[in-house]
C-alpha cells in the first residue's frame, strides 16, 4: 500500500456545512510539500486507525528550553515532506486581538519556512504553527522577533498565560484581564522560556465567575474576577426586562442563594446573601451590573487527569485587589513556585503537591492565612495533626 | 552572514494595545451593557454612549495561512483591518453599525457560518489527534467536523435551553481539558502498551519509565534488559509511552471514543463541575464516526426536549436524577460507569431516597 496520493476518506470531510480542515490542508498543499504529505499521512491514519507520529526529540532555538514541539513521522520514506514535522508556538497578544497587517506578516514568515498550516489557537492560547524542520527554527525565530513576536512556553515551565476579552469588550469584567495576562507574561519571561519547574504551570485570567477561559478547569492558577459590594440595579431597565421575560421564574426563582425578590415593580437583592454567581447579571445585563469594589479570587491546582485524576482549582485567596503593576500577585506566585520547587517531585503539578503535603505546608510557606472560604466544610475526620509547639 | 538580523530574545507577548480597534481602545473598561442581535451579532454599549458591533463566525481551528489572509482581507474591507479570535476558535469582526448587514452577507456568501453567540452550540474546543500528536486514541479535527456537520444549525440558527459546550480531547492527557464540558468527547485506549523489547534498552531509561506509571504497573525485566507490564494494573494512560517510545499504546480496534456529560466552568446558579461518563466506548470509524455523531446528537436532542430554560445539561441531570437520565436517553448503565479509581468513594450514593418512575 504505497503512497498513491489519493485521499478518499479525507475528501469526504470536504463535504458538509461545517468549515473543513481538509480544504485548508489542500489549500496549503498547493504551495507546500509538507502540507501535501500531511494530507497523505493523515489519510493513512484514517485507514489504519492509529497515529503515524513518533515521540519528538528535543529541538528548539538557542537559549530557550521550550516553544517548539519536536515531531517525526514513522513513514519517512513514503512521506518525506513530514519526516520532520515540528510545531512552533508563537505567543499571541492578550485577548487575541490582531491587525491584518501584523497577521499577514506572520503568514508570510510561516509560508517561507513551514507547511502553512496553523492552529488558531492551541488550547493554551498560543498560535501554533504546524510542520517545519530543525534547520528552519533559528531563521523563523529571527524573523518573528524582528517583527516583535516571541515564542510561547512548552515543557516544565510557565506556559503562555491567557485571559478572556475582559475590559476590552465585556461589561462584566471585574479586573483588567488582558493587562494582567500581558504583565505576568512579561514579568515571567525567564520562567516561560527556560523550563526549571517540576512540571508545567498554567495561568488563566477570567474577568468574572462566568469564567470564559475555563480557568478553573485548565489552569494551575485560576484568577477569577469578582466584587464585594452590592450589585448595581437600574430599576427602569428591570421594568423593561419584565415585559420580555418572567423575572420571578427565570431570575428570582433560579437565584442559587434565594436572595432576590420581585414584586412586579422593583427588584430587591439582599447583597449580604448573594454569592456573586452572575446568573441574574447574565440574563439582565442592561439592568444589573457587578458592584464597584472589584478584585479577584485566586484559585490553585486545576489540571487534566494525568497523573492522579483531574482536579479543579480551589480557593487560596477569596479576594485580592488587582491593580497595575500587580506586584501582590507576582509576589504570591513567586512564593508558590518556591514552595513547589522545594518539595515537588518530577512531573508533579502544584495541585498534586498540595494533595500530597496538605494545604498547611503551602499556606505556611506563602504566608496565606487559613480562612473558611477555602473549604466546602471543615473536616469530619478526627485524625487531626498538631505541629510541634501548638501543644503547650 | 551580514544580512542576518541581530538575535533578540524574551520579547514576550506583543503589546495588545497596538491591536485594539479604536472603538475598543476608547471605551476600554467602560462597557455598560450588551444585547444579542441574533445568533452571530452582538452590540455593546459604553458609558460614553458609543456602540460596538461584533460579528462572529466559526473556524475549523486547523487553518491555512491563506485562510488567515482571507480573514484579514475581510477585516480590511469592513472594519479597518481589526479582528480577533475567541477562546473557542471563532473569529470576530467589529463593523460599524451600517456595515453589519453587508459584512454578514459577505461572510455568508463566502460560505462562512455566522453564529455561536448565546444559547446554542459554539465552536468545539479540540486537540491535535492524528494531525500531529504521538499518543491519540482518535482523531480530533475529523470527529469535530463530522459532529458539527450534523449540529451546525445550533451554531447558526437553532436555540437550546442554555449553552451547550462541546469539547474533544484525543487522549487522557486532555490538552483540551475537556473535563468540565456539557459534552466531552474523549479518545481512550483500552489495551496496555506493547513492549518492544528489541529497541527498549536503547531508546529508554528504565528507571524513569517505571516511575512514569501512576499505577505501578511497570517492572523491570532483567532477562531482556527491558520491562514488563502488569496488564490488570494498566489504565491505558499512555504516560509511559511519552517517556519511552518503545511502549506504543495505539491499537486500531482497541482505541476509540468515550463520552462524558454535564460539566461546566461557569459559576452561574451553581459552581463549576466536572463531566461524568455516560458512554464508555464507541469505535473509531473514520472518516465520519457515525456512532459518535449519533450519540452526541441524541444527547443534545434529549436535553433540548427536557431541560428548563437556562438549565445547563448538568443542572438538568441533577434535577431529574441520573437514573432518569439513563432511562430517557436509553443508554445502558454498565460496570464502567461506576468509578474504581482514586476518588471513587466520593461518587457513591449514601441515601435510600430515590425517584421511581
Ligand atoms: C501528562 C500530561 C500531558 C502530556 C504528556 C501532554 C502532551 C502533549 C503533547 C505531546 C502535545 C503536542 C501535541 C502536538 O503534537 O502538537 C501537547 C500539546 C498540547 N497540550 Fe498537552 N499534554 C499533557 C497535558 C496537557 C494538559 C493538561 C493541557 C491543558 C490543560 C495540555 C495542553 C496542551 C496544549 C494547549 C497543546 C497544544 C496543542 C493543542 O492545542 O492541541 N496538555 N501536549
Ligand atoms: C450573557 C452573559 C455573557 C456574556 C456577555 C459573555 C461574554 C462573553 C464574551 C465577551 C466572550 C468572548 C471571550 C473570549 O473569547 O475571550 C465569551 C466567551 C465565552 N463565554 Fe461568555 N459571556 C456570558 C455568559 C457566559 C456564560 C454563562 C458562560 C458559561 C456558562 C460563558 C462561557 C463562555 C465560554 C466558554 C466562552 C468561549 C466561547 C467562544 O469563544 O466562542 N459565558 N463570553
Ligand atoms: S469571563 Fe466574565 S468578564 Fe471575561 S469575557 Fe467572560 S463574561 Fe466577560
Ligand atoms: S449574582 Fe447569583 S446569587 Fe447573586 S443575586 Fe444574582 S443570581 Fe442571586
Ligand atoms: S489530548 Fe493527548 S493525544 Fe491529543 S494532542 Fe493532547 S496529548 Fe496528544
Ligand atoms: S499506559 Fe499508563 S497505566 Fe499503563 S503501563 Fe503505561 S503508564 Fe502505566
Question: Which residues numbered 218-277 in B keep a CB inside 8 Å of some CB on A?
Answer: 237, 239, 241-242, 245, 250-253, 255, 263, 265-270, 272-274
Based on the domain organization, do A12 and A28 belong to the same domain?
yes
Question: Same domain for A134 and A174?
Answer: no
Whether residue A222 is found in the same domain as residue A331: yes
Domain check: are A142 and A168 in the same one?
no
The answer to whether position A2 is within a domain reads no
If asked whether residues A347 and A367 sit together in one domain, one would say yes
Q: Are the CB atoms for A91 and A129 separated by under 8 Å? A: no
Percentage of residues in chain B having pLDDT higher than 90: 88
pLDDT digits (tens, 9 = 90+) for B281-323: 999 999 999 999 999 999 999 999 999 999 999 999 999 999 9
Mean pLDDT of all residues belonging to chain B: 95
Question: Is the reported ipTM for this assembly greater than 0.85?
Answer: yes
| Residue among A126, A198, A130 nearest A160 (CA) | A126
Distance CA B52, CA B101 (A): 14
Q: With 60 as the cut, is the pLDDT of residue B14 above it?
A: yes
Domain count, chain A: 3
Residue after which a domain boundary falls, among A273, A289, A305: A289
Which domain range does residue A85 map to? 8-146
Do residues A142 and A169 share a domain?
no
Q: Is A156 inside any structural domain?
A: no
CB contact, 8 Å: A180 with chain B? Answer: no
Domain check: are A193 and A325 in the same one? yes
| Same domain flag for A297 and A339 | yes
A208: in domain:
yes
* pLDDT at A86 exceeding the cut of 70: yes
- Pick the residue whose CA is nearest to atom 2 on ligand 6: B237
Residue A1 lies in a domain: no
Instruction: Examine residue A299 and state whether it is found in any structural domain, yes or no.
Output: yes
Residue B286 touches chain A, beta carbons under 8 Å: yes
In a domain, A3, yes or no: no
pLDDT score of A1 more than 50: no
A28 within a domain of the structure (yes/no)? yes
What is this structure's pTM? 0.90
Q: How many CB pairs under 8 A join A and B?
A: 353
CATH number at residue A328: 3.30.413.10
The answer, for A274 touching chain B at a CB cutoff of 8 Å, is no
Tens digits of residue pLDDT in B17-76:
999 999 999 999 999 999 999 999 999 999 999 999 999 999 999 999 999 999 999 999
Query: Do A182 and A85 share a domain, yes or no?
Result: no
The answer to whether residues A103 and A44 belong to one domain is yes
Name which of B10, B239, B266 is nearest A193 (Cβ-Cβ): B10
Q: Is 50 exceeded by the pLDDT of residue B1?
A: no
Are A128 and A250 in a shared domain? no
**CATH number, position A95:** 3.30.70.2500
| Residue A169 near residue B56 (C-beta atoms within 8 A) | no
SS3 B57: strand
pLDDT reported for residue A3 = 67
Q: How far is CA A93 from CA A152, A286, A326, A351, B142, in A?
A: 11, 30, 19, 28, 29
* Residue finishing a domain among A94, A114, A146: A146
In a shared domain, residues A134 and A65 = yes
Question: Which CATH number covers residue A259?
Answer: 3.30.70.20
Residue A155 lies in a domain: no
Instruction: Please tell me the predicted confidence (pLDDT) of residue A308.
Output: 67
Amino acid at each position: 500500500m504505497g503512497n498513491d496520493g489519493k485521499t478518499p476518506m479525507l475528501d469526504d470531510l470536504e463535504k458538509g456545512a461545517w468549515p473543513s480542515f481538509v480544504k485548508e490542508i489542500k489549500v496549503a498543499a498547493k504551495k507546500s510539500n509538507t502540507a501535501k504529505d500531511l494530507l497523505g499521512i493523515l489519510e493513512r491514519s484514517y485507514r489504519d486507525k492509529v497515529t503515524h507520529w513518533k515521540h519528538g526529540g528535543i529541538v528548539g532555538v538557542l537559549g530557550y528550553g521550550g516553544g517548539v514541539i519536536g515531531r517525526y513521522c514513522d513513514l519517512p520514506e513514503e512521506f518525506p515532506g513530514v519526516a520532520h514535522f515540528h510545531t512552533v508556538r508563537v505567543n499571541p497578544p492578550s485577548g487575541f486581538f490582531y491587525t491584518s497587517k501584523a497577521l499577514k506578516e506572520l503568514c508570510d514568515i510561516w509560508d517561507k519556512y513551514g507547511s502553512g498550516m496553523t492552529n488558531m489557537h492551541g488550547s493554551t492560547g498560543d498560535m501554533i504553527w504546524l510542520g517545519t524542520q530543525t534547520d528552519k527554527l533559528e531563521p523563523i525565530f529571527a524573523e518573528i522577533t524582528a517583527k516583535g513576536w516571541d515564542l510561547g512556553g512548552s515543557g516544565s515551565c510557565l506556559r503562555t498565560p491567557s485571559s478572556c476579552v475582559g475590559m476590552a469588550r465585556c461589561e462584566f469584567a471585574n479586573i483588567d484581564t488582558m493587562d494582567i495576562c500581558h504583565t505576568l507574561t512579561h514579568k515571567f519571561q525567564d520562567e516561560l522560556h527556560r523550563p526549571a519547574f517540576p512540571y508545567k504551570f498554567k495561568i488563566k485570567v477570567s474577568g468574572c465567575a462566568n469564567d470564559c477561559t475555563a480557568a478553573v478547569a485548565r489552569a494551575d492558577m485560576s484568577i477569577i474576577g469578582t466584587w464585594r459590594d452590592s450589585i448595581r440595579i437600574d430599576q427602569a431597565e428591570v421594568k423593561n426586562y419584565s415585559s420580555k421575560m418572567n423575572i420571578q421564574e427565570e431570575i428570582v426563582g433560579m437565584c442559587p442563594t434565594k436572595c432576590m425578590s420581585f414584586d412586579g415593580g422593583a427588584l430587591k437583592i439582599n447583597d449580604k446573601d448573594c454569592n456573586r454567581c452572575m446568573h441574574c447579571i447574565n440574563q439582565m445585563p442592561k439592568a444589573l451590573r457587578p458592584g464597584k469594589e472589584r478584585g479577584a479570587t485566586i484559585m490553585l491546582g486545576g489540571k487534566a487527569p494525568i497523573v492522579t485524576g483531574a482536579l479543579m482549582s480551589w480557593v487560596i485567596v477569596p479576594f485580592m485587589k488587582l491593580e497595575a503593576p500587580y506586584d501582590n500577585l507576582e509576589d504570591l506566585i513567586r512564593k508558590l513556585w518556591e514552595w513547589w520547587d522545594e518539595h515537588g517531585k518530577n512531573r508533579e503539578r502544584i495541585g498534586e503537591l498540595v494533595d500530597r503535603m496538605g494545604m498547611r505546608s503551602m499556606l505556611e510557606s506563602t504566608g496565606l492565612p487559613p480562612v473558611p472560604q477555602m473549604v466546602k466544610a471543615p473536616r469530619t475526620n478526627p485524625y487531626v495533626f498538631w505541629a510541634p509547639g501548638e501543644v503547650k | 552572514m551580514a544580512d542576518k538580523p541581530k538575535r533578540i530574545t524574551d520579547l514576550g507577548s506583543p503589546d495588545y494595545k497596538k491591536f485594539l480597534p479604536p472603538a475598543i481602545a476608547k471605551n476600554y473598561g467602560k462597557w455598560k451593557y450588551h444585547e444579542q442581535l441574533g445568533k452571530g451579532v452582538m452590540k455593546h454599549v459604553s458609558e460614553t454612549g458609543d456602540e460596538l458591533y461584533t460579528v462572529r463566525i466559526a473556524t475549523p481551528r486547523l487553518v491555512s495561512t491563506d485562510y488567515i489572509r482571507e480573514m484579514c482581507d475581510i477585516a480590511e474591507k469592513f472594519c479597518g483591518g481589526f479582528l480577533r479570535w475567541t477562546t473557542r476558535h471563532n473569529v470576530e469582526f467589529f463593523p460599524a453599525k451600517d456595515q453589519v448587514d453587508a459584512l454578514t452577507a459577505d461572510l455568508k456568501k463566502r460560505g462562512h457560518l455566522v453564529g455561536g453567540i448565546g444559547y446554542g452550540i459554539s465552536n468545539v474546543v479540540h486537540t491535535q489527534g492524528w494531525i500531529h500528536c504521538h499518543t491519540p486514541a482518535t482523531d480530533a479535527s475529523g470527529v469535530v467536523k463530522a459532529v458539527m456537520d450534523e449540529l451546525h444549525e445550533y451554531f447558526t440558527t437553532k436555540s437550546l435551553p442554555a449553552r451547550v459546550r462541546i469539547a474533544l480531547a484525543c487522549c487522557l492527557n486532555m490538552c483540551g481539558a475537556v473535563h468540565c464540558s456539557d459534552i466531552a468527547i474523549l479518545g481512550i485506549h483500552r489495551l496496555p502498551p506493547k513492549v518492544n523489547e528489541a529497541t527498549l534498552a536503547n531508546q529508554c531509561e528504565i528507571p524513569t519509565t517505571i516511575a512514569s506509571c501512576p499505577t505501578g504497573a511497570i517492572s523491570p525485566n532483567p532477562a531482556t534488559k527491558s520491562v514488563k507490564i502488569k496488564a490488570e494494573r494498566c489504565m491505558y494512560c499512555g504516560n509511559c509511552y511519552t517517556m519511552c517510545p518503545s511502549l506504543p499504546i495505539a491499537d486500531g480496534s482497541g482505541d476509540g471514543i468515550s463520552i462524558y456529560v454535564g460539566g461546566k466552568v461557569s459559576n452561574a446558579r451553581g459552581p463549576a463541575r466536572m463531566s461524568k461518563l455516560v458512554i464508555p466506548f464507541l469505535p473509531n470509524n473514520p472518516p465520519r464516526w457515525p456512532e459518535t455523531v449519533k450519540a452526541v446528537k441524541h444527547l443534545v436532542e434529549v436535553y433540548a426536549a427536557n431541560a428548563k430554560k437556562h438549565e445547563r445539561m448538568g443542572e438538568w441531570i441533577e434535577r431529574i436524577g441520573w437514573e432518569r437520565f439513563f432511562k430517557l436517553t436509553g443508554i445502558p448503565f454498565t460496570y464502567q460507569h461506576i468509578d474504581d479509581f482514586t476518588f471513587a468513594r466520593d461518587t457513591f450514593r449514601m441515601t435510600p431516597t430515590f425517584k421511581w418512575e
